[in-house]
Amino acid sequence: MKTPIPLVTFELPAEARSVGTARRWLRAFAGEHGGGPELQDRVGSALTEALSNTVLHAYAAPEVGRIDVAADIEDGALEIVVVDDGSGLRASTSDHRGAGMGFGIIASTADAFAIRERVPQGTEVWLRFELGAG
């Protein structure tokens, strides 16, 4: 019999308090499956950026959209997907706190990442953290 893959999924409203909630849950999930404090910190940093992007930029006020999050443990790594059905990246050359969205922090904290456009709309951010790396 195959061992089930550890998996957690949840849906949250795209609002500020959801960032801390998701971060707390997924840090705990990482810790339960062998992720040490350094890895948990990196998970927290990357998630904060990915989720903040969605909260701040994916949906036009007053709409409160949703964020779907899934995480599992596969091949010795924690993989997380953050999905929204918002408007995606938008050009903004003047708003320096705006649309570029902290992806650089994600790039520097996750062991691998991907940013995928969704059809008909939305963005999917995929993160991978090697559990043996801290």
**Least distance between another protein and beta carbon 57 (Å):** 9
Work out how close the CB of 4 gets to another protein at its nearest, in angstroms, rounded to a whole number: 29
Interface characters, 74-93, with another protein (x: CB under 8 A):
--------------xxxxxx
User: Which residue type does 48 have?
Assistant: T
Kindly identify the residues of this chain, within the stretch 94-113, that bind another protein according to CB under 8 A.
Answer: 94-104, 106-108, 113
Q: Toward another protein, which CB reaches closer, 78 or 106?
A: 106
Residue 124 CB, shortest distance to another protein, in Å, is 8
Ordered strands of the 112-117 beta sheet: 7-13, 66-74, 77-84, 123-130, 112-117
Q: Which of 9, 114, 132, 133 binds another protein (CB under 8 A)?
A: 114
Sign of CA dihedral 115, 110, 17, 30: positive
The phi and psi torsions of 27 (rounded to 5 degrees) equal -65, -45
Buried b (16+ CB within 10 A) or exposed e, 21-47: ebbebbbebbeeeebeeebbebbbbbb
CB of 69 vs another protein, minimal distance in Å: 18
Interface with another protein, residue 65, by CB under 8 A: no
Quote the radius of gyration of the chain (alpha carbons, Å): 15
- List of residues contacting another protein (CB under 8 A): 88-104, 106-108, 113-119, 124
